[in-house]
């Protein structure tokens, strides 16, 4: 990848990581409040809101620059994004196939939000391992 590709890839400034972590911890707080029934909302609605909050915070975290953003971090980010896409694709193909083999139905029992959260978790675990 050349310098032009590196410079054309626009990311959020590093300071947005604080905002993303704040949203993530608000999601954790919301989850705790939902577990102990301290919020006057339906459990299913609370779960959907919680998934959306976690998904949004992980998206922001993945789009923020590192403190030092250079060609090496750009390559690492590109490799991680492609590996995460492959992981998600394999998950979408393998899960229904495994259900068909062992349970007799061709169904995927996770929502699109849960799938995206799993892909982001894979991304962050691999990022931690590679760093």
pLDDT in tens, 16-61: 999 999 999 999 999 999 999 888 889 899 999 999 999 999 999 9
d(CA 24, CA 17): 10
Q: How many domains does the chain have?
A: 1
Q: Is the pLDDT of residue 2 over 70?
A: no
Q: Is the pLDDT of residue 5 over 70?
A: no
pLDDT in tens, 74-101: 899 999 999 999 999 999 998 888 888 8
User: What range defines the domain where residue 72 resides?
Assistant: 3-130
Q: What kind and span of H or E run contains 57?
A: helix 43-63
CA angle 47, 39, 51 (to 5 degrees): 20
d(CA 107, CA 20): 33
């Amino acid at each position: 990848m050349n310098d032009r590709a590196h410079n054309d890839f626009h990311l959020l400034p590093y300071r947005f990581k604080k905002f993303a972590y704040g949203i993530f911890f608000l999601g954790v707080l919301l989850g705790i409040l939902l577990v102990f029934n301290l919020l006057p909302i339906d459990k299913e609605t609370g779960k959907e809101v919680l998934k959306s909050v976690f998904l949004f915070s992980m998206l922001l975290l993945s789009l923020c620059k590192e403190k030092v953003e250079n060609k090496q971090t750009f390559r690492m980010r590109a490799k991680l994004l492609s590996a995460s896409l492959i992981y998600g694709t394999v998950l979408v193909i393998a899960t229904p196939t495994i259900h068909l083999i062992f349970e007799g139905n061709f169904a995927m029992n996770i929502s699109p939000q849960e799938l995206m959260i799993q892909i982001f978790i894979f991304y962050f675990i691999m990022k931690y391992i590679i760093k």
